[in-house]
Amino acid sequence: MEIPTEELVKVLEKRNKQPDTLLQIIDEYGRMFIYYQSAIDEIETKLKIIDRELSNPGTIGRKNVIHQIQTRVKSLESIVKKLERKDLQFSREIVEKELSDVAGIRMICSYIDDIYAVLDSLAAQSDVTVLEIKDYIKNPKPSGYRSLHVILEIPVFFFKETKRIKVELQIRTIAMDFWASLEHGLRYKLETDDPDLSRRLEQTATTISNLENEMLMIRSKIEAQIE
């Protein structure tokens, strides 16, 4: 939902002892955007290199280990809302310290084992620091949601400085992304919580997970026969 600029200024000014003007706020966000987009570019490049190597016949030789990569930097409005919920003021220093998901990457893999293989390779790189892992694949949420959430930190080299920047990496399979995308849209349309529909959504997540595991076993058997 879009927030009118007048309301945005009021929200920001309410949290600051010395109110910024709208122009100053936008300018500050512009600088932050450069930092976070640059960190995304760094991680995305690393992921593409890993995928290229895994797809090489001389290594694993299986195509489409990484099916898709999606990226985004949180909007100013989203950042403001999250700071408000945390009862924090708006400043670049506070955003960098308190928010770990301003820079976001969603990576879609073909199979579950691809997820952990890519993460292991990325985490082994000397300039990548893994700060936090939430594994909703091994421990799905009650709703049925499955994904691997990882907070990374990397150094990004700018013209006159080097900054260590956090990036949130969400890794899913094609099947997990299919369920999550449709479930989000369906829940958005629900005005109240419906236990029966929630149960059915969770059941579909389990069904999809079972199908996914079966496809993985089929692929593994085929690869074993080829070898």
The crossing angle, in degrees rounded to 10, of helices 112-123 and 195-226 is 80
Q: Which amino acid does the sequence have at 21?
A: T
HEC per residue, 28-73: HHHHHHHHHHHHHHHHHHHHHHHHHHHCCCCCCCCCCCEEEEEEEE
- In sequence order, the 6+-apart residues with CB closer than 8 A to the CB of 73 are 33, 36, 37, 40, 102, 103, 104
- State pLDDT tens for residues 74-130: 999 889 888 888 888 888 888 999 999 999 999 999 999 999 999 999 999 999 999
- State pLDDT tens for residues 217-227: 998 888 888 76
C-beta of residue 95 within 8 angstroms of C-beta of residue 87: no
- Please state, in angstroms and rounded to a whole number, the distance separating the CA atoms of residues 196 and 219: 35
Tokens 């936008």, located at residue: 26
- Please state, in angstroms and rounded to a whole number, the distance separating the CA atoms of residues 208 and 170: 19
- Please state, in angstroms and rounded to a whole number, the distance separating the CA atoms of residues 103 and 166: 7
- State pLDDT tens for residues 184-200: 777 766 666 778 888 88
User: Looking at residue 223, what is its pLDDT?
Assistant: 80
Domain residue ranges of the chain, discontinuous segments joined by +: 5-176
- Mean of all residue pLDDT scores within the chain: 86
Residue 136 carries which DSSP code?
T
**Would residue 168 show up in a list of annotated catalytic residues for this protein?**
yes
- Please state, in angstroms and rounded to a whole number, the distance separating the CA atoms of residues 111 and 94: 38
- Please state, in angstroms and rounded to a whole number, the distance separating the CA atoms of residues 91 and 59: 46
Catalytic position from the list 168, 183, 202, 223: 168
Domain 5-176 has CATH 3.30.460.10: yes
Hey, what are 201's tokens? 């959504």
